[in-house]
Every structure is written in structure tokens, then in C-alpha cells.
Amino acid sequence: MSASQAAQIISQVGSNSLGLSQAAIAQLNSDYAPLNFEERIRRLYQDFAPEKVLVTSSFAATSAYFLHIISQIRPEQVIHFINTGFHFTETLDYRDYLIRRFNLTVEDICPDKHHHAYSISEQLWDKDPDLCCSANKVQPLEEVKDRYHVWVSSLMGWQTEHRAGLPIFEERRGIIKFNPMVDVSKADRDEYIATHDLPFHPLVAEGYSSIGCTHCTVKGEGRAGRWQGKEKTECGLHL
């Protein structure tokens, strides 16, 4: 089955869990494997209905690379930002800067106000970080995903052991997950950023390599600065 045939099934059925078989996902992976990151994004908009493509960004360490490519290929693409209410001021400033520089359309995804308030009153980031992430990140995105067929992530394999094992396409909780950057190396990323004079998140210069919510992020190499002292390594969005 070709990638375009697989996409047609999705558009007709409207349910990824029923509309795309494991064989079709395998074919997508085979078709996209020889392509580079930019070529994969271009191909995605040919094989899938553009209005059914969900793009999210955390506006973290090197989001400029990912968003620069997206904005060049489909300027009208809406970028969804999960605004947990716990972001660094620098992250919000970085988001606003990239919006202006790339002329982005960004929509915030916000948690339920009662769940968010409970997170604060119970300090869930310390007592139960998994529940905190679920309430403020995972569940809000789940409520948006139903409107789309494919979700584009900016995960790179060198970031964590879990991410290193991800395919380009996978089915993840009822939606087709697209990981076009999974085989992009850190050197490739840095070269692109330097070539196009793109800005890193301002906290990178201060020693932060992976940047999330204020309560769960400290300085450190790689993902070492996330959820320090806990076994947790992922917020749950990509699990």
C-alpha cells in the first residue's frame, strides 16, 4: 500500500485506530525513511490533508529549527502550544519572538482550570509529577487530537533512550504520530541553526539543555535537568 493510499483511508474513515493498518504504517515508514527532515515535511502535506495535520511545539531549547522548516513549507500551519501555566518567562518570551520572526499562528492549549488549581494547591509537581503532567499537558492535548489525523512531533533520537527507538510513523493513542526528526543528529541540528542564524532558547546559554516547566527543570546536560531525583524522564505526551 502506498503512502497516498494510506492517507486516503484515513480521510475516508476518520479514525486512525481503524483506518490505518500496521502494514500501512510500515509502508509509510519505508517510503519516508530515505527522505531528510525537510523532504518528509513536504511529503506529509502531499499524503495527508493539511488541515488534518496537528503540529505542537514546546518552544523549548531548539524549537526554532523545527518551526523554521514548518513555516517555510506551510506558513499557514497552526502551531499548538501547551501552556501549562508553569513555563519560564523566558519560554514565553522565546515563543513570542519566534511568532514575530517566522510569522507563526500559535494557539494555546490550556489545562482545565480546576485541575490546574488542584495541581497548585497540592504541589503535584513534587508529590505526583505524573499526575501533574497528565492534568496540565497530556489530557489537554488529548482533547484536541480528536480533530486531526496525524500529529507532528520534533523528537530526536539522541535525546533519550526511549526516543532513540521511535519510528518515523507510529500509532499512539488513537492518532498517527509523525516523528520526522527522529534520525536528525545533534550536529545536523546545530549546523542548520548556525547556517540560518536561528536563536536558541535564552536559557540554553545559562546551562539548560532541556526546558520544561519551572518546577521540574534545572540546569543540566541532555535530559539530566528534568525531574531531578525522580525516575521520570518523559512528561507522558510521547509515551
Catalytic residue (choose from 133, 213, 216, 235): 235
Calpha distance 31→100 (Å, rounded): 35
SS3 label, residue 107: strand
SS3 label, residue 116: helix
Is the pLDDT at 24 greater than 60, yes or no?
yes
Confidence of residue 86 (pLDDT cuts 50, 70, 90): very high
| Residue 216 annotated among the catalytic residues of the structure | no
Structure-block grid coordinates of residue 63: 524549537
Confidence of residue 48 (pLDDT cuts 50, 70, 90): very high
pTM of the model: 0.85
* 14-18 average pLDDT score: 41
* 183-202 average pLDDT score: 89
Q: What percent of the chain has pLDDT over 90?
A: 52
In terms of Cα–Cα distance, which of 42, 57, 137 is closest to 102?
57
Which residues are 220's β-sheet partners? 208
Q: Quick one: 36-216 is in which CATH superfamily?
A: HUPs (3.40.50.620)
SS3 label, residue 93: helix
User: Is there a contact between 217 and 210 (Cβ–Cβ < 8 Å)?
Assistant: yes
How high is the pLDDT of residue 13? 41
Is the pLDDT at 165 greater than 70, yes or no?
no
What are the start-end ranges of the E strands in the chain?
Answer: 53-56, 78-82, 105-109, 150-152, 169-172, 175-178
